[in-house]
Amino acid sequence: MKLHLQTLKALIKYIAPKKDIRNALNHVLVEITDAQTFYVASDGHKACLFKHEMYDSDDIKTGQYLISREALNVFSKSPVELVEFSVSDGGNMTLFDNTLQTTFSTDARYPDWRKLLHQIKDLSGKPSHIDPRLLKEVFDCYRMSKWLKNDSLSLSLNQNGSGANAVTAADDSNFVGVVMPYRADDKSKHIFDFDSWISDQPLKKAA
Model confidence over 35-75: pLDDT tens digits?
A: 899 999 999 999 999 999 877 665 778 899 999 999 999 99
Q: Which of 104, 126, 141 is the last residue of a domain?
A: 104
Q: Which helix (H) or strand (E) holds 9?
A: helix 5-14
Determine, yes or no, domain membership for 77.
yes
Query: pLDDT grade, residue 194 (50/70/90)?
Result: confident
pLDDT of residue 141 exceeding 90, the answer is yes
Q: What is the pLDDT of residue 182?
A: 85
125 and 163 assigned to the same domain: yes
Domain boundary among 60, 77, 104: 104
pLDDT interval class at 11 (50, 70, 90): very high
Residue 167, domain member (yes or no): yes
- Residues 11 and 99 grouped into a single domain: yes
Q: 85 and 53, same structural domain? A: yes
The residue range of the domain holding 75 is: 2-104
Q: Stretch 120-139: mean pLDDT, rounded?
A: 94
- Domain end, chosen from 76, 104, 132, is at 104
| pLDDT above 70 coverage of the chain, percent | 92
Sign, Cα dihedral of 35, 178, 136, 40: negative
Q: Establish if 162 belongs to a structural domain.
A: yes
Work out the mean pLDDT of the chain and round it to a whole number: 89
- What per-residue confidence (pLDDT) applies to 184? 64
Q: Looking at the domain assignment, is residue 201 inside a domain?
A: no
Considering its fold, how many domains does the chain have in total?
2
- Within this chain, do residues 100 and 7 fall inside the same structural domain, yes or no? yes
Instruction: Assess whether 68 and 17 both reside in one domain.
Output: yes
The yes-or-no verdict on residue 30 having pLDDT over 90 is yes
Q: Which of 53-67, 79-93, 111-125 has the lowest mean pLDDT?
A: 53-67
pLDDT above 70 for 177: yes
- 202 falls within a domain: no
Q: How confident is the model at residue 151 (pLDDT cuts 50, 70, 90)?
A: low
Q: Identify whether residues 121 and 94 lie together within a single domain.
A: no
- Residue 10 reports pLDDT greater than 60: yes
The mean pLDDT value for 110-126 works out to 94
Q: Is residue 9 part of a domain?
A: yes
Q: How far is CA 109 from CA 8, 22, 131, in A?
A: 18, 10, 28
Shared-domain flag, residues 38 and 99: yes
Q: Give yes or no: residues 70 and 89 share one domain.
A: yes
Residues 6 or more apart in contact with residue 84 via CB below 8 angstroms: 1, 2, 3, 94, 95, 96, 97
Q: What is the pLDDT of residue 195?
A: 78
Mean pLDDT of 143-148: 90
